[in-house]
Structure 1
Amino acid sequence: MYRTALRNVLAHKGRLLMTALAILLGTAFVSGTLVFSDTLGQAMKNSFAKSYTDVSVLVTDPSAGSRMGPRNKEDAKNTAKLTDATVKQIAALPGAAKARGVVSGFIGVSDKKGNLIGEFWSAMGGNYVPDASGKDSRYPLVEGKAPSGPKEVALDKATAEKGGYHVGDTIRIASNGPALDVKLTGIVTTDDPQITSGGTLTLLDTASAQKMLLTPGQYSSVSVLAKSGTSESALLDQVGNVLPKDHGNFRTETGQELNDEQAKAIASGTDGMKTMLLVFAIISLFVSIFIIANTFTMLVAQRTKELALLRAIGASRSQVTRSVLVEALALGVAASVAGLLAGIGIGAGMQSLIHATSAGMPTGPLVIAPTTIVVTLVVGVLVTVLSAVLPALRASRIAPVAAMSSGDQPATQKSLVIRNVIGSVVTIGGLGLVVMGAATKSSSGRVPVGVGLGLAIIGIFILLPLLSRPVIALVGPLLAKLAGTPGKLARRNAVRNPRRTAATAAALTIGLALVTGLTVLGSSVSDMVDKAVTSSMKADYDVTLATGDLTPELAAAIAKAPGVAVSSPVRRDYWEFNGAPHSVRGYDAAGFEKLVQPKMVSGSAAALKQGQILVDSDMAKKENLAVGSGVKVEFHPGSEGTLTVGGVYEGNAMVSEVLMANSEITKHVEDSYLSEVLVKGTDGPSATLKQSIKDATGNNPVVAVKTKQDMRDEFDKVLTFALNMMYGLLGMAVVIAVIGVINTLAMSVFERKREIGMLRAIGLDRRGIKRMVRLESVVISLFGAVIGVALGTFAAWAINRTLISSLPTLSTVIPYGELLLFLALAGLVGLFAALWPARQASKLNILESIKTD
């Protein structure tokens, strides 16, 4: 039986080719993901291992550079700072070889066009610390001299090259305040992986760096190198003994601890990426299951007489089952090995692509872990064998005499009735859970919605054979009208074997359901943001800093810009109201109503001028507040008071829970966070006003001046990028689904040779045969697509309902144009998939086909 099974694989290798390709693609996705993530993770670990080579102990002040007041009682204890005295005390320790005071923060560099070089999150600023020779070993000079005054800086070599700058040039830099023009005195190199991976580095002398990034005399951290013979832990104890007792939140860590934390962070990042990619690989493999099961079901049906003959000459049912499973095993092993090799190539290609598009990304040799090999082969083989189990069991149930008398054994009515009953029960149960969870309109409904959607999807897959008849019947008249006899035949062929149609369409259903769900969710969130921006913002421009941390000086400069009629810095904070934390946003009361337009439910926005607060409707409901209510507030540890509610407004994703006047906020917290400045011009938005604002900030490269449309476009850009990435990852599943359609049609053509021959004999020409096969493919594809689009839309609606508690203005928006495009593309997919099978069908010899046994 085993020899027979292997001979069958070789005998039907053409019919199994597409199935093998589906398995290959799925396993290649798995192995490629594992190889790429392991390689990238190892390369990053090797690169970042250099970060702390000269650090035995690092003392860090997390609050350095923050202008916000203490957020809690622990923060309130932190009155100490890292100063020159701290550095000298640590350097004098018996176990310390040297200690270095480090100043660090954000400094962006403008190119010659006024744009920021690199990304803001990787723009670093720091202090150049010369030794007795006048050089800093941490940043070797390759050209020029060290910066020595407030108007001098040094840049890393890569940044200088990107900007086209040379020693002696005047360049523009910016932190959280107005931009400054400074002289480039030196160019340095560094092995800091944050810089070598594409970041920018701007160095100033220590005093200038402290003034720009911290406060005079303050350091962000102190790095200490141990003397030979002193362990890191011993030095850590020594450092802890000299730190001020009121240091509160100072962090002290050894170099080994820092390296371990860094390795853990890298592993977490790559594991997250690996998990996401593997989810899509699993989706692809899940789609492959339908193709594999469909293929073996059709092979069993086509070999009915052969299997019956084996039974007649003594083969047992278990032997027939094993023979089919051995075929699946052989196919799974061969395709999985090929998938593993293809995945290694994919991993290498992804690494090269990342390195080419991000030149600073670390690279290294491919990492092919034993786990990758084992997982890929085991997953591929298991998926293939398990998919063939049901077809194998069906093969074993073929009665020898009955099977030899018929070439086709359609599903019995009884089996379809049982299937439909089971599918209906599962579907109704799943839909009931979804509706119950969605009705809660809160996060508590996410579990029942998730479970319900899973059950509903399974139930609908079970019911696909039942659904195929009425859904496909809807297009019957249209097919007959447009394509005549080939159209009628295509419709009948599509519903003749509902099991096969369902299995073929299921692959597309999965892909379209996921794509549709993502699209509807994206459109809903985009619509929510659009409405929030449109309804709440009356200002002409929203001025922000890339770092999100404005200074009062910058806000004042914007207010004085020519053409500005009204402006207000926006302060943000978190306070406890009646013991519960809530977000607070502050505006200048005089111009508030000209810049912001919350939809008032009760009270008046003018209450801000009387020192009262406005609260959103959700908070008012939770805290039982109304106009005139007094609410107890803890502004920061040790500071409490009572504020009066002057108005309640409708919740909005773009507006905070509590609104109040900036003058009231500064009475309680002087250093609240400035996030943006809202501006209204005397003559509305204009290019002149925008440039005036930019000029007021010194043409700061990190300042963004955005209109409402710019804010919408910015969000849509991020959302579109995320959706396109998801579509790209789901593309593999769609490709596999197309392979399934091709495979089914090709095998169906072989199975229906006699029928096609008879059609040709009674007058249907080659063109009619091609049209019949193509239309059948289009009908099956559209059937799967329609079910997928409906399922995806329903899933998105249910998920949206569970988000309403946190996003009260979120509503389900159905992008009909995009969904119709998906259906049109599904039709094209069906047409493309039928090209080769249709061609093969039209080329069949009439006489040979009619006499086919």
Structure 2
Amino acid sequence: MIAAMWDRLRLFNIGELLAHRGRTLLSMVVMGVSAGLLVAVFSISGSITGSVDKLTRSLGGDAVLEITGVTDAGFDQALLQQIRSTTGVGTAVPMVRQGIGSGESRALLIGADASIAQLGNDLGGSLDAQAGKLLTAANGVLVGSAMGHHEGDRVRFGAVDTTVVGVIDAETSAKVNGGHIVIATLPVAQKIADHTGKLDSVQILAAPGADVDALRSALTGVVAGRAVVADPDLRSAQAGGSVQLVRYSTLASSAAALIVSAFLIYNAMSMAVAQRRPMLSLLRAIGGRRMPMVLGLLVEAALLGLIGGLVGSVVGIFMGRVSIGRLPAAIVQSVESRTEYMVPGYAIPVALAACVLASVAAAAIAARQVYKVAPIEALAPVGTSSADAVKPLLRWAALAAGLAAIVAGVFIANADIGRLSLAAISTSIAGAVLVCFAATGPIVRVIGAVSRLFGAPGALGATTVERAPRRVWATAMTVMIGVTAVVAMGNASRDMVDAAGSTFEGLGRTDVFVSATAMEQFPTGPILPADLKDKLRAVPGVEDAGAAQMAFATLGRGRVMLQGYEGGVARSSALEGTTEADLARMARGEGVVISRDVARQLDVSVGSTLQLPTPTGIHDVTVLRVVPYFSAIAGIVVLDLDILRQWYQRSGETIIGVDFVPGADPDVVLAAVRAAVPAEFQVETGASALAAISGSIRQGSSISAAILWIVVLVATVALLNTLMLSVLERRRELGVLRAMGTSRRFLLRSVLAEAAGIGFVGAALGLVVGSGVHYLATVALGNAISIDIAYRPSPLLLIYAVVALALALLGSIPPAVRAARLPIVEAIALD
């Protein structure tokens, strides 16, 4: 049985794939593109979360719980004794975990005591061998092999001059932050991080027989909001939030590519059926059963999807590696670990499964066109077969399902469900395709009418269109989806970038910003020198200098960005429109301003009481305002600067805003400011900071934009396949026309007229559907990133559609040339 099935596949299916290498290669390439896009998207998000998870496991070892600081300021070391005395705690390992340096020199500082050996983590063996060296020199440190230092080197970390007493071997250090680590005793690490008397983390090993849930509750009571008690995977979950928007938007574009690929496989399988019709008809006539034929075609399609997916997955791995380098700096810098490129274990299997399922589903529809007819009917052209006719019940069902999907898309887009709102985009496009399926007849007739506008050649092309409505509809939908994706997502992304940039317009009104890191990375540290603000105020031409501070903090299981401001110089745009009464309440610690996503996550609104965990305990505050704010990485909680300093024990500031005296020469004052600021700190004008942040946002959307144009190229291949199928089906007809004296030019124009009908109608539908989806996308994106995005139809909408149509019509050239060059004798001899 198995041998017979293999022989049948080898003779009738695999042999045909090898005989028509061009079509097979095109189908596999398109499926490969879809697989590559999916693998790349999964790899981008997987690299961020995977790097954090790898670091957490490398340091945490066998720990069942971790107590972390609410912010990077950590928590009071005095809590350690209370934690260790809690019932159920076997071992409590204190740690300092702080990022030091920036850019390529960015590393993780780890400080611990001798109890770290009990964790059984990746550093255990190396530390046991070299731990004694840390006590042999003042301020001694161990460094990872990737740091480029050697034993005996004197290196300055933070404000401390240290001595490298050992280098951790490459195999061990590579497991922890890619080897970019600095390890010191707890007191030395606290000096380097300026964390005297503070801890960042306590890893908890449970006592034998202890219940972890009960232990978590007990520890939560002990820390009383001054720290966070959580499972070790909390850091990974928070890191995943920073890349969710990129992941969702690129997945939406990749899904469009996969849908277009499915239509292409449908056309490829229809082409295969058309070429094999004489053989299949003969097999049916001599008693061949339908099921083996159908299964053979499905296996053939599965092979196309599988092989194309495998090759595409390999390409996707490299695409993902390139894309990681294009992520906005704010995303990369917002996580604790250095981002190492890694492909999640599920990425390739999911991509392969998607490609195979799409191929098999498309082939099943194509198989129905011929295999579910009588043997004598299979000899007729596809367009005259009853399998090509759509039953009225199916049309009405498709119409109802399509309208329901569109209504669901509108509801999802307007529902305040955060990033899940982006599902409205794919839902509404799917609904539009179903409605168009119900309207297959009218669409095909319009395509024929457009073709007839091109005279006698167009009339010939129109008859071909009307004889194969299913295939023509599928191609028109391919063009429609390509145009829809570019028009809708291209314009929505532009609107999003404009709206996100307006969130930060307040930056442009400040003349100069001074910070430890570039402004587009959200400066959350290190703290600037205590006397720097006064120095800047004394610079000639400076009218005033105001301080601000940003810090990531844990709120619930999520992460928010705390923002504290003083005066009017460094004030956030989130505070614009806030009344003086509300500002006074903020100054007294009675209220905060939060972004929409934080309000959604915590289910609070204006007037609600919000409990803020801080190193000084839990503070109850009132939500004064809920504001739109670009929250691609984290939502915001805005406090008065002095309150932030007191509650979160973060003295100083991370940003200083400087205003110039009206009429002063900006270049002269800027030069004086630069001279007053230490070289290791950043000095940026407000205009350049605004441009950098806007550019970073635009960079984040560029990956999705690139995928959209790939979708258009896939649509081009689909049109080429459809028209090539048209030529193959009409070889005898075209040969007879040539024998009767029809010119090559006439046949070429007839194929081009057919292409024009399909392309123009598909593009027009794409323009209409794309405009509607563009509106839904702006609403959905607004809910996803918690800002108001204005729907702005642009003349670029028409340009996008025309360019997409032009690319699609390029696919008509090869089959048109083939029709014109068809040998007369060979064509007539067919059949």
The TM-score, its normalising length taken from structure 1, stands at 0.68
Counterparts of 2:752 and 2:248 in 1: how far apart (Å)? 39
- Tell me how far 1:391 sits from its aligned partner: 4.2
Counterpart amino acid of 1:26? M
SS in 2 for 1:138: helix
SS of 2:529's equivalent? helix
* 1:766/1:137 CA distance change after superposition, 3 Å: same
1:138 to 127, 132, 137: 127
Offset of 1:330 from its aligned partner?
4.5
The alignment status of 1:321 with 2:321, answered yes or no, reads no
C-alpha spacing 1:510/1:451, structure 2 compared with 1 (3 Å): closer
Instruction: Give the Å deviation of 1:533.
Output: 2.5
Q: Distance in 2 between matches of 1:330 and 1:450?
A: 28
Deviations 1:690-737, CA, capped at 9 Å, x for gaps: 565555452225x4635244334334334434432x355567755654
Q: How does 1:424-443 map to 2 (within 5 A)?
A: 424-435=399-410
C-alpha displacement of 1:680: 1.7
Aligned partner of 1:541 in structure 2 is 512
Structure 1 residue 214 displacement after superposition: 4.6
Q: What letter corresponds to residue 678 of structure 1 in structure 2?
A: G
The 5 A counterparts of 1:110-149 are 116-119=103-106, 122-124=107-109, 126=111, 138=127
Q: Is the alpha carbon distance of 1:49 and 1:822 closer, same or farther for their aligned partners in structure 2, counting shifts above 3 Å?
A: same
Partner residue, 1:681 = 660
Contact 2:108 2:181 in 1 (8 A): yes
Task: Please state whether the residue corresponding to 1:510 is helix, strand or coil.
Answer: helix
Amino acid at match of 1:524: D
Task: State the structure with more CA Rg.
Answer: 1
What corresponds to 1:578 in structure 2? none
- Candidates 316, 332, 337, aligned match of 2:301: 332
SS at match of 2:294: helix
Quick one: distance in 1 between partners of 2:446 and 2:820? 29
| Partner of residue 481 from structure 2, selected from 493, 498, 510 | 510
Question: Cα gap change, 1:730/1:26 in structure 2, threshold over 3 Å: closer, same or farther?
Answer: farther
Give the aligned partner of residue 387 of structure 1.
Answer: 362
Where do 1:117-516 residues align within 5 Å?
117-119=104-106, 122-124=107-109, 126=111, 138=127, 156-160=144-148, 173-174=157-158, 180=159, 182=161, 188-189=167-168, 193=173, 197-198=177-178, 200-202=180-182, 207-220=187-200, 286-298=259-271, 300=273, 313=285, 315=287, 319=288, 321-322=290-291, 324-332=293-301, 334-335=303-304, 338-339=307-308, 342=311, 346=315, 383-396=358-371, 398=373, 409=384, 415=390, 421-435=396-410, 454-463=430-439, 466-470=442-446, 480=454, 497-516=468-487
Paired with 1:470 and 1:127, the residues of 2 have a C-alpha distance of 74
Please tell me whether the aligned partners of residues 525 and 550 of structure 2 are also in contact (alpha carbons under 8 angstroms): no
Q: Residues 189 and 836 from structure 1, CA distance in 2 versus in 1: closer, same or farther, beyond 3 angstroms?
A: same
CA displacement, residues 344-372 of structure 1 (integer Å, 9 cap, x when unaligned) = 755886799899999x98899x9999x97
8 Å CA contact 2:660–2:669 kept in 1: the answer is yes
How far apart, CA to CA, are the structure 1 residues paired with 2:204 and 2:411? 60
Give the drift of 1:389: 3.6
Rounded Cα–Cα distance in structure 2 between residues aligned with 1:559 and 1:215 = 24
Give the alignment partner of residue 780 of structure 1, picking from 758, 772, 776: 758
CA contact (8 A) 2:448 2:461 kept: no
Map of 1:103 onto structure 2: 96
Separation (CA, whole Å) in 2 of partners of 1:740 and 1:249: 59
Over 3 Å counting, the alpha-carbon distance change for 1:797 and 1:411 in structure 2 is: farther
Between the aligned partners of 2:765 and 2:38, the Cα distance in structure 1 is 30
8 Å Cα contact 2:145-2:173 kept in structure 1 = no
CA contact (8 A) 2:34 2:355 kept: no
**737-746 vs 524-533, greater mean Cα deviation:** 737-746
Aligned amino acid, residue 294 of structure 1: N
In 2, Cα distance between equivalents of 1:146 and 1:346? 50
Q: CA 1:549 to 1:118, structure 2 compared with 1: closer, same or farther past 3 Å?
A: same
Separation in structure 2 between the aligned mates of residue 452 and residue 277 of structure 1, nearest angstrom: 17
Contact kept in structure 2, 1:749 and 1:837, CA below 8 Å: yes
> 1:816/1:497 Cα in 2 relative to 1: closer, same or farther (>3 Å)?
farther
- What one-letter code is carried by the residue in structure 2 that aligns with 1:103? V
Give 1:635 deviation, angstroms: 8.0
Contact 1:290/1:507 (CA < 8 Å) preserved in 2?
Answer: yes
Give CA-to-partner distance per residue, 1:775-807, whole Å, 9 cap, x none. 644653454344345434422422433565673
Asked if structure 2 preserves the Cα contact closer than 8 Å seen for 1:489 and 1:772, the reply is: yes
State the shift of 1:523 in Å.
Answer: 1.5
Q: Quick one: distance in 2 between partners of 1:596 and 1:45?
A: 32
Report the alpha carbon displacement of residue 328 of structure 1 after superposing the two structures with TM: 0.2
1:716 pairs with one of 695, 698, 703: 695
Query: What letter matches 2:439 in structure 1?
Result: L
- Structure 2: distance between partners of 1:333 and 1:807: 42
Aligned to 1:557: 532
Alignment partner of 2:58: what SS? coil
| Structure 1 residue 749 corresponds to structure 2 residue 724 | no
Aligned-pair RMSD on alpha carbons?
6.6
Partner of 1:124, secondary structure, is: strand
CA distance in 1, matches of 2:611, 2:226: 25
Contact 1:513 1:788 in 2 (8 A): yes
Partner of residue 568 from structure 1, selected from 546, 566, 569: 546
CA contact (8 A) 1:437 1:445 kept: yes
Partner of 1:75: none
Q: Secondary structure at the match of 1:811?
A: coil
How far off its partner does 1:107 sit? 1.8
Counterpart amino acid of 1:332? Answer: A
- Relative to structure 1, the CA distance from residue 431 to residue 202 in structure 2 (aligned partners, 3 Å threshold; closer, same or farther) is closer
Query: Secondary structure in 2 aligned to 1:327?
Result: helix
Quote how far apart the aligned CAs of 1:740 are. 3.0
Structure 1 residue 568, shift from structure 2 partner: 1.7
Question: Offset of 1:534 from its aligned partner?
Answer: 2.6
Aligned to 2:786: 807
Write the distance in 1 (CA, Å) between the matches of 2:608 and 2:38: 54
Task: Return the offset for 1:824.
Answer: 1.3
* Alpha-carbon distance between aligned partners in 2 of 1:709 and 1:306, rounded to the nearest angstrom: 69
Native 8 Å contact 1:429 1:456 kept in 2: no
Question: Aligned to 2:104, what secondary structure does the other structure show?
Answer: coil
- Determine the C-alpha separation between the residues in 1 that align with 2:310 and 2:645: 64
Contact preservation (8 Å) 1:442, 1:804: no
Q: Deviations over 1:799-829 (max 9, x none)?
A: 4335656735322244543762464144224
Q: Is the 8 A contact 1:47 1:362 kept in 2?
A: no
Contact 2:141–2:182 under 8 Å retained in 1:
yes
| Change in 2 beyond 3 A, CA 1:182/1:473 | farther
Partner of 1:80: 78
Cα offset, 1:168, TM superposition: 6.4
CA shift in 2, pair 1:474/1:384, >3 Å: closer
Deviation at 1:527, TM superposition (A): 1.2
Residue 705 of structure 1 aligns to a residue in which SS? Answer: strand
Give the C-alpha shift of residue 469 in structure 1.
Answer: 4.2
Structure 1 CA distance for aligned equivalents of residues 320 and 415 of structure 2: 45
Structure 2 length as normaliser, TM-score?
0.69
Query: How far apart are the structure 2 equivalents of 1:351 and 1:678?
Result: 38
* Matched residue SS, 1:566: strand
Other-structure match for 1:63: 69
Q: Does the C-alpha gap of structure 1 residues 490 and 691 become closer, same or farther in structure 2, counting only changes over 3 Å? A: farther
Amino acid at match of 2:436: I
Q: Give the aligned residue type for 1:840.
A: R
Deviation at 1:528, TM superposition (A): 0.9
Deviation at 1:468, TM superposition (A): 4.7
Cα distance in structure 2, aligned partners of 1:189 and 1:411: 74
Structure 1 residues 186, 341: CA separation in 2 closer, same or farther (over 3 Å shift)? same
Q: Judge conservation of contact 2:527–2:654 (CA < 8 Å) in 1.
A: no
Q: Which runs of 5+ in 1 are unaligned?
A: 70-77, 110-115, 175-179, 576-580
Q: Distance in 2 between matches of 1:335 and 1:756?
A: 30
Q: CA deviation at 1:473?
A: 5.0
